[in-house]
Structure 1
């Protein structure tokens, strides 16, 4: 599997290619051209980075580095809400039919942490919840992108645990911003997998586990708004640019939907896994 990683080691932020044997550090070789993976995405250079690492001995082992979110400073980080069957029913608001258009909201990069790092539960609320999702990274920008051309605009895939402070989501009538943007409440990673063909998205198993127990499981073929539609719809009202990240929705089974709810607590281990992408793993700590 081709995997591009952003990480911190040796006192600086770096990037490279991860394999089963370790991480090949490409920072010195490409650092004057690309400050990070966002710039490599914008240049269409992910294949070049992978080729440069081919056959090289690893410079770092995964246990010796701190994983960072792969795209450190996207211009836009847009999330899609309620995008799998039965999630409307979970809300118990009397509506069960899918809406004509998707629910969208914005998150800030500071609200995420990297693979292997703890999600932070703030003192203001114990209602830290998980949402396992697939995220797409835009490689070719555009406005009013046609649905049939949407896949041409995706450079890479990654995973997201769209961690949420549930009671703060409900502080206001028309927005969820407060509950979605607590520092390091969610995670993105562990790496970028270059997007090269439709089968990587069209019918992929997505699963979330908490302490080994399966909590969420579905397939992307059942999404109410598929990846092509999402790219086309979002690009209708805003210009997408290279490095933008779109988090595309979570299956039913978040902790808030249990009776009583099951919130994440310090020491929990959450794993988000998708076929062909990998496993995003995080623990939980109190702030």
Structure 2
């Protein structure tokens, strides 16, 4: 079963996605206004039951960012060994992971354009798996980490590269341009460790394979990410962790291969799906 946020006409809905269209479930959860609120209330498991055998309500719709009101999105940077080597600074694997925040306004949905701003054209792609926390926890041991995941989704962690260099100790400016990245298309319930432990992540630009790696090569596996992050903050249902991108982003080519209007970026993982976005210049 797949669950998404989508738009039809002027209205936003959340619900189940089938091959024939979407099943709006808003009326089944009148006390919750969004997919995020359903998860935050611990009711994610009830979505499949609510969908049941209901007919498709929206054969035609547009995807939104899967959780457009997500309150906390944490991203793990430089999390594959080849990615660390791309920096060519001679550094060994770091002892601790790099983390930075992103905000929901920086993401759009599946089949919607990534927006390249007029201030800078170094828009880059980063294909990643994102996890959604379903159970609160603090100081979560690695062996229990997967018990706290409700769902999986995909992320194109779009970045304005020149703007991550505006300060010495953070990358926030380059990581939060409006609609520069995407999360979606949907949430897939997390039911089996193999969904992550055996996952292969691929990113294509205009059909060309640019990123191709397996999550079991991460320097900081997802179990460790949950353990580490929950040491300093209580993870809450609805929190999103974007887990890291492999080598092959556009900035690392010589010359760089930044995204331009008309490009098509696809991030894929078997068992989760494909997140697809075009690129457009911002209309100002």
TM value normalised by structure 1: 0.96
Q: Is the 8 A contact 1:26 1:53 kept in 2?
A: yes
The 5-angstrom pairing of residues 248-287 of structure 1 reads: 248-287=243-282
The 5-angstrom pairing of residues 134-283 of structure 1 reads: 134-283=129-278
Counterpart of 1:51 in 2: which secondary structure?
helix
Match of 2:128 in 1: 133
Report how far residue 148 of structure 1 moved.
1.0
Counterparts of 2:257 and 2:36, CA distance in 1: 36
Counterpart of 2:81 in 1: which secondary structure?
coil
The one of 68, 71, 77 equivalent to 2:73 is 77
1:202-233: CA deviations, max 9, x gaps? 12010000011100000011111111100010
Match of 2:63 in 1: 67
The 5-angstrom pairing of residues 115-134 of structure 1 reads: 115-134=110-129
Counterparts of 1:106 and 1:26, CA distance in 2: 30
- Which consecutive residues of structure 1, in runs of 5 or more, have no partner in the other structure? none
Counterparts of 1:118 and 1:74, CA distance in 2: 20
What CA RMSD, in Å, does the superposition of the two structures yield over aligned residues?
1.1
1:46-65: CA deviations, max 9, x gaps? 3321122232221112xx32
Match of 1:56 in 2: 54
Report how far residue 88 of structure 1 moved.
1.3
Counterpart of 1:46 in 2: which secondary structure?
coil
Counterparts of 2:58 and 2:97, CA distance in 1: 42
1:94 aligns with 2:83: no
Match of 2:12 in 1: 13
1:207-263: CA deviations, max 9, x gaps? 000011100000011111111100010010111111000000000000001000001
Counterpart of 1:145 in 2: which secondary structure?
coil
Q: Is the 8 A contact 1:15 1:26 kept in 2?
A: yes
Q: Is the 8 A contact 1:75 1:241 kept in 2?
A: no
Match of 1:27 in 2: 26
Counterpart of 2:45 in 1: which secondary structure?
helix
Counterpart of 1:39 in 2: which secondary structure?
helix
